[in-house]
Structure 1
C-alpha cells in the first residue's frame, strides 16, 4: 500500500486491514487503537516535513520507534511507553494515551498480541502524511473521516453517537451563517461535541478560520476530539470535559459564556439529563423541560450560550416540534420571541445512534423580535440508501442550503410560515412540518367518463405541461381530439417512445443539453489542465459544480440539482481520485501503469486493468488515471476492430459446436456414444471415433464424430487467433502508455474521460425524463383503451357464444 494508490482504494484497504485484525473487540473500543496509531503516524510525518510543527516528537516517542518494535515480544508495553513520551512532551496525557496497547484481554496474549500489533504498525507504516495539508479533503482528513464513519456503522445503536454524519454536518455548517465574511476571532461552540467532526465541518466553511470551543461528557470520545482537532490543524482549540447540562465548563461567574455560533447533535431524548443538576444558570427562564426528556434542556442551554446576535443549528428528534405539556409551553415562548428562524425536516435513519427521523432547528437572536415567520423545509424524501443507513446526497445538501439561505418557497418542499398561522388556535404553536407543507405526491385520479366512453382526459395531459412547453409541437404529434375535454393517441402505444425520440424538438433539446455541458467544461478546462500540488480539491469542485448548477437553472424540464448530482457522483467515485493522483504525482507519473497489488498476507488483491503474458509469467497492471479502453479507442481503433471480428468468429465457432452437440448428443442420437456422464469433449469424441472405426459402426455416426472434431478444431483455431490478437493489442497498449506525452495525457483525461463522462451522465438525465413521459403516456393510453361499453359488448358476445354452444350440446333449449 503506497500513496500513489487512489485515495478510495487506500481507505478501503486500510479499513479491511484494520478490521481483519480486530478479533473479538467491539468497534467502539477498537477505534481508539486505530485512531491513536493514525495520530502518532501523522505527527511523526508532519514533524519531518515541517520544522515549525506545534507538536514536538521526542526521541523515543515517534512512529518510527514503533516500527523498530515489529516482532518484539514486549511490543505492547513498549508502544505504550512511546505514546507516553509523545503525550508528556506535548501535554497530551490522558488524551492520546487512553488506549492500552498491552491489554491482553483485547489484543491477545504473547505471540497473538505480538503479531497483531506488528501487523497494525505495518499497515500505518505504508502511509505517508508528509504532504498532507489537513484541508478536509486531503489524505489524512479523508482517511480519518472514512474510518470514523465505518467505526460508527460497526458500533451499533448504543455506541455510534460519537460521530455526526459528514453530510448532515455540512448542512448545519452552511445554514448557521458561517462563510467568507466570518472573522478568525468569531467563536463557534458545540456543547455535545463528540469526536469533533461537526465542529470541524463548520470550521471548513470559514476560509480565515475561527475559534473552536466544545464540551464532551465521555472521556474516550473527548480524547478523540482532542486528537481530531490536532490532526486538522486546530491546535489552539478549547475542548473541555464534563456533562454540559449539570456541569457546564464554559462559564463566567454565575452566567454562561456566550458565543457567535453554536452547532450541536445532542443525545436524543435523554432521561437522566437533570441528575445532579444544581445550578441552571438561568437557562430555563422559558420553562423547565420534563424530567424524563432532555431535548429542550440542550436547546435552551444553546440559546443561553449565544451572544445577542448569535446563531445556532441543532439536531433534535421530531418530537420537539409537537410534543405537549412543558415542552409546548417552552416552544410557545421561543416562537413568540422570534428565536426560531427555521426548521429542516431530515430523512429517517441518517444517524448512527438511532433510526428515527430528526430535524434541524435554526436559532437566531439577531433581530428576533422583528421575525414574523418560521422558514420550514421538508427534506425527508431526499436521500440515498447506503448499506443499512440512509445518506444525504450532494444534491440534497445543496438544495437544502440554497433554499434555506435564499428563503425560497418551493412547492411541496419549503415555505415561510407566518407566526400568526402557527399561533392560530387550530395549530396552537405546534411546529409539526406536515401541518404546513404537504409533501405528498398529487393523487392520480381515475376519470369514470373516460372509462365509459374512451379518450384520455385533457386534464391528465395538461398536468404534463412542462413537457409541452419544452416541446410545443409534440402534443399535437402524439394526440388528436376525441371530444371536448378528451383526446386520443395519434400513434400506437408501443410507438410513443420512438415518436418522441424522433421529434425535432427532442433532438434539439438533447443537443442543447450536450452543448451546455460542453460550454461548461470548456470554461473550466484551463483550471483543470493546470492542476498542481497547491490545488485545493474541495474549492475546485465547489467552483465547477456550482457553475454547472447555475447553467442548468433555467433549462426546461431538467432539475438543476439532478444535473449537479451527476457531476458530484462522478467526482466522489472517480474524478476526485484522479485529481488527487495528478496533484501528488503530476500528469505523466500518474498516468503510468503500475503492478496490481497482491498481498496474500493481508488478503488484499486488486482487479487488474490489463494482463500481459500468461500463466506464471503474466504481469497484472493497474491504470489508475487512464483506463486502457481510452488508449485503445484513441490509438488502436483499427486493431480493436480486427480483434472484435476475431472474438466474434471464436464465439460463432463455439456456438456451432454447442448447436451441433445439442442436436445430436441426445438419446439414440449420432453422438450419444461419445457422451460420458452427460458431457462430451474433443477427447471423448476422438476416443469414440477410434472405437467406431475399429468396430465398423454406422457410417453416419462416424461422419457426425468427424464433423464435430472439425468444429472443435475450427473453434480452437478461432480462439487461438483471437487470443493472440488480443495479447498483441494488450502489449501494444501497454507500450503506448510509455510513449504518451503530457499534452496527450491531458487530452485523454480531460476530454475523453472527464468531459465525455459528465456529458453522458447529464444526457442520461434528459433520457430519464423522456422515459418518464413515455411511461405516463403509455399508462394513460392503456388505462382508457377499453371503454366500459366495449367491455360490456365483449361480455355479451361471449355470453351469446356460450349459450349457442350449450344449445348445440342439448344442455339448453
Structure 2
C-alpha cells in the first residue's frame, strides 16, 4: 500500500529535521539532498539500463545501508559517495558534504546513530517508478525539501530557491510552450539550485536545452544534482560570478540564447568587484557602483539573441530610481526592449521580504513596440506560514492577462510609450503611476445623513448584482426622493429576501448545473486514470475547461471558481490520483491498518476503529472516507445511530438538569453533593444512608429518581455504542466487497464531484453574503437622520434634567 504523496513528503521532512540537531538548515540541506541523490540514482540504475549515471560496485545507496551501526559510518559514506562521483565525473558536485564532520554530526556514537537513522529514513523510499515526465515523485520530494530548507535558512541563506509558483509565472510569460523546439536554448545567469530553469523546462513538452551559471559552490552542486534528478543530465551549469567572470562565452563575446530567466540577488553592492571585461554589456550606461540590479538586467539583455526573450525578477526600485539607472531605463524603453512589468506581492521570496516585480524583455520586433504592458498583481496571494504565496488562480490570471494583453480595471493596462516619456513621468515605470489598484473610497453622504435615504450612487455601484437579478433591486428598495432610496424590507430581512428570490435561486441552480456539465464532460478521462496518466496534464485539461465555462457567468470571478478546484486538487485529488495510478482502483480503495512508524515520524489518524481497548484495530481509508460508504450503503443504519445518539444526549441532559436543579444548598440532593457534582456512586451511597437514617422521603425520592436517570443514560449510551460498533463493522466489511464500478462511483461522484460542486456553491454563498453585508451596512448607516438623532438626544437631555431636578440638583 503506497503512502499518500503528502504523507511521504511531510514524514520525510519531519524525520530529517529531527536529526538535524543544532546544524544550520542551509548546511544540513547538503547532507539530506546528497543522500536523496544517491538513493535516486541507485534505484534508477536497477530499473533503467539506459541510465546515464553509472553506479559502481561500492558506490551505491545499498552500500550505505550495509553500514548502519558501523563505527566508521561517516568516513565510509564519504568513500561510497567518492566512488560514485569518480565514476560519473561528479567530483566537487556530490561529494561536498563531509559525512565525517564531527562538528556538524557529532562524535563517536552520536554520529554513528544519527547517520544510521538518516540512512534508514531513505531506505524505505522507492523511486524506481519516479520519472521526469508525468508524476515526478522524486522531483517533488526534492522540491518539497528544498522549499523547507529555504524557509528554515532565513533571509540571508534562503536565496538558493525561487518559489515554484513564481517560477511558473516566469516560465509562462517568457514565451516557452508547445511550439518550443528542443534546440531552443534557455539561460539563467544566477541559477541557484536550478529550480527556476526546471520549471521553464516543464513548459516545453518537446524539451529545451538548458544553460546556467551559479556563483556559490554548494548551490552550484545542488543545481547539478537537481538537473540529473529531473532527467536533464546534459544541462550545462557553470560555476562562477556571472558579472565578473561569465563562463558561457563564444570567443570574446557573450554566448546568446533564445530565452533567459533569472532571480538575481537584489541590489548587490559588490557586483563590480574584480570586473575587468564588460563584454559590451553596459552600452546603455554603467549601473551605479553600489547597486547591481541593472548589471544583471543588462547582462541578460546582452545574452539574448536578436529575437530573444527574458523574464527577470528585480526589486521595484529598478522601475523608478534616478541618476544612472534612470538613463539606462530610458534607453531600454526608447529601443522597445521592455515588453512588460508585473508587480508581485511582498514577502514572496526567501532572500528578502520586499516586494518585487518581473521585468519582461523582448528583442523581437522591439523597434515597433509602442507601449509597455503592466500588471499590478500585488494583492493576489495567500498567507503561508511567515511568507506569502501565489495561489493557483493568481498564477493563471497573471499569465492569461499578460499573454493575451487583456486590460482589466485596477489590474492591468497597456501603457503607451508617449505617456511614459511624458515629462511628468520622465520614463518612470512605477506601476501606481499608471494603474490605480486601490479600492474606491466608501464616501459618506451628508445629505443622506441629514435627510435620510440611501444614496442611489451606492446602489448603482452594485450594478453587477442588479444585472444578474434584474427585479431584486425593486424588491429590496423603494424611492425616497430623487437620488435616494429606502429599504423596502427590514435590515434583518435582507438576506432571506435575496435567498428567496426566484432570480437568485435560478442563478444558484445554473451555477451548479455548469459544474455538473463540466464534470460529466470529464468523467470518462477521470474514470480512465491508470499508471500511464500524467497528473499535470490531467489537471490542466479539466481546470482550464472549468475556467472557460465560467468566463461569462455574471458575478462569479472565473478565477475564484478555478481556485476552488485547484485547492482541492493540491489538498486531496492529487493524492487520490497518485494512489489510483500506483495501485489501481480496487487496491487503492482497500482499508488498511494505520501506520505508526517511529523512525519516519509518521503516526496516522485512523478513519475507523473497530473494537475497543487493547483489542481495537485502527484503519485508514486513503481513497474513500467511511462517511461516503455509510451515506451510500448504510443510510438507514446511520439514521438509527443518530436517533440513538440523540436519545443518549437527551438522557445525559436530563441528568445534568436534575442535578443542577436539586444539587444546591438546602436542595434535595444537597447531602449527596461533592464539589457541586453528584455521581451515580455517591447518589447510591447516600440513598443507603438516607434510608437507614429515615431521612426526608422527598430526598429519598430525589435520589431514586437521579439513579434512574443515570441508569437510563447508561442504557441509551450502551445502545448507541453497540449500534455504532455494528455500523463500523458493516462499513469495514463493505470495503472488502466493493467492486470497481462502485469504487469509481464513490470517488468520482460522491467525493470529487460533490466536493467541487459544494466548493463552487460556497462561492455563490460568499458573493450573496457580500451583497447582504453591503446593503445592511448602508441601511444601518442612513437609518436615522441627524434631525432624528438630535431629537432623541434632546429627549434624553430633558429626562436627565428632570431626574437631576427631582434630586435637587439645578
1:321 aligns with 2:319: yes
**How do 1:392-791 and structure 2 match up within 5 A?**
392-791=390-789
CA shift for structure 1 position 115: 1.2
Partner of 1:161: 159
CA shift for structure 1 position 66: 1.1
Give SS of 1:663's match.
helix
1:136–1:142 contact (8 Å) kept in structure 2: no
Cα separation, 2, equivalents of 1:304 and 1:429 = 21
Cα separation, 1, equivalents of 2:70 and 2:341 = 57
Partner of 2:373: 375
Give SS of 2:156's match.
helix
CA shift for structure 1 position 598: 1.2
1:136–1:204 contact (8 Å) kept in structure 2: no
1:344–1:361 contact (8 Å) kept in structure 2: yes
2:680–2:710 contact (8 Å) kept in structure 1: yes
Cα separation, 2, equivalents of 1:251 and 1:136 = 34
Cα separation, 2, equivalents of 1:200 and 1:90 = 22
Cα separation, 1, equivalents of 2:235 and 2:387 = 32
The equivalent position to 1:345 in structure 2, one of 331, 343, 348, is: 343
Cα separation, 2, equivalents of 1:318 and 1:158 = 20
**How do 1:145-224 and structure 2 match up within 5 A?**
145-224=143-222
Cα separation, 2, equivalents of 1:392 and 1:305 = 29
Deviations for 1:183-212, whole angstroms, at most 9, x for unmatched residues? Answer: 000000000000000000000000000000
The equivalent position to 2:257 in structure 1, one of 251, 256, 259, is: 259
Partner of 1:13: 11
The equivalent position to 2:240 in structure 1, one of 209, 231, 242, is: 242
Give SS of 1:178's match.
coil
Cα separation, 2, equivalents of 1:763 and 1:62 = 53
Cα separation, 2, equivalents of 1:129 and 1:604 = 19
Cα separation, 2, equivalents of 1:668 and 1:798 = 46
CA shift for structure 1 position 614: 0.7
Give SS of 1:157's match.
coil
Cα separation, 2, equivalents of 1:285 and 1:137 = 46
2:258–2:307 contact (8 Å) kept in structure 1: yes
Partner of 1:227: 225
Cα separation, 2, equivalents of 1:389 and 1:811 = 63
Cα separation, 2, equivalents of 1:80 and 1:713 = 70
CA shift for structure 1 position 521: 0.4
CA shift for structure 1 position 683: 1.7
Give SS of 1:586's match.
helix
Partner of 2:72: 74
**How do 1:51-66 and structure 2 match up within 5 A?**
51-66=49-64
1:135–1:141 contact (8 Å) kept in structure 2: no
1:375–1:414 contact (8 Å) kept in structure 2: yes
Cα separation, 2, equivalents of 1:187 and 1:543 = 27
2:659–2:677 contact (8 Å) kept in structure 1: no
CA shift for structure 1 position 673: 2.5
Cα separation, 1, equivalents of 2:692 and 2:719 = 35
The 10-residue stretch of structure 1 (803-812 or 99-108) with the greater mean CA deviation from structure 2: 803-812
Cα separation, 2, equivalents of 1:545 and 1:773 = 28
Partner of 2:82: 84
CA shift for structure 1 position 795: 2.1
Give SS of 1:121's match.
helix
CA shift for structure 1 position 274: 0.6
1:136–1:232 contact (8 Å) kept in structure 2: no
Give SS of 1:69's match.
coil
1:582–1:590 contact (8 Å) kept in structure 2: yes
Cα separation, 2, equivalents of 1:126 and 1:680 = 55
Cα separation, 2, equivalents of 1:695 and 1:60 = 89
CA shift for structure 1 position 676: 3.0
CA shift for structure 1 position 677: 4.1
2:377–2:411 contact (8 Å) kept in structure 1: yes
Deviations for 1:419-443, whole angstroms, at most 9, x for unmatched residues? Answer: 1111111111111100000000000
Give SS of 1:64's match.
helix
The equivalent position to 1:300 in structure 2, one of 284, 298, 301, is: 298
1:346–1:359 contact (8 Å) kept in structure 2: yes
1:80–1:101 contact (8 Å) kept in structure 2: yes
2:593–2:620 contact (8 Å) kept in structure 1: yes
Q: 1:59 to 1:692 in 2, by over 3 A?
A: same
Give SS of 1:376's match.
strand
Cα separation, 2, equivalents of 1:112 and 1:693 = 69
1:217–1:243 contact (8 Å) kept in structure 2: yes
Partner of 1:105: 103
Cα separation, 2, equivalents of 1:646 and 1:5 = 37
Deviations for 1:473-517, whole angstroms, at most 9, x for unmatched residues? Answer: 101111111111111111110000000000000000000000000
Deviations for 1:686-715, whole angstroms, at most 9, x for unmatched residues? Answer: 222222222222222222222211111111
Give SS of 1:343's match.
strand
Give SS of 1:159's match.
coil
The 10-residue stretch of structure 1 (158-167 or 58-67) with the greater mean CA deviation from structure 2: 58-67
Runs of 4+ in 1 over 6 A off after TM superposition: none
CA shift for structure 1 position 137: 4.1
Cα separation, 2, equivalents of 1:577 and 1:306 = 40
> Where in structure 1 are there 5+ consecutive unaligned residues?
none
The 10-residue stretch of structure 1 (356-365 or 77-86) with the greater mean CA deviation from structure 2: 77-86
Cα separation, 2, equivalents of 1:598 and 1:669 = 52
Give SS of 2:210's match.
strand
Give SS of 1:440's match.
coil
CA shift for structure 1 position 662: 1.5
CA shift for structure 1 position 603: 4.2
The 10-residue stretch of structure 1 (350-359 or 675-684) with the greater mean CA deviation from structure 2: 675-684
CA shift for structure 1 position 418: 0.6
2:15–2:121 contact (8 Å) kept in structure 1: yes
The 10-residue stretch of structure 1 (645-654 or 659-668) with the greater mean CA deviation from structure 2: 659-668
The 10-residue stretch of structure 1 (598-607 or 540-549) with the greater mean CA deviation from structure 2: 598-607
The equivalent position to 1:32 in structure 2, one of 30, 33, 58, is: 30
TM-score normalised by structure 2 residue count: 0.99
2:311–2:360 contact (8 Å) kept in structure 1: yes
Cα separation, 1, equivalents of 2:726 and 2:277 = 81
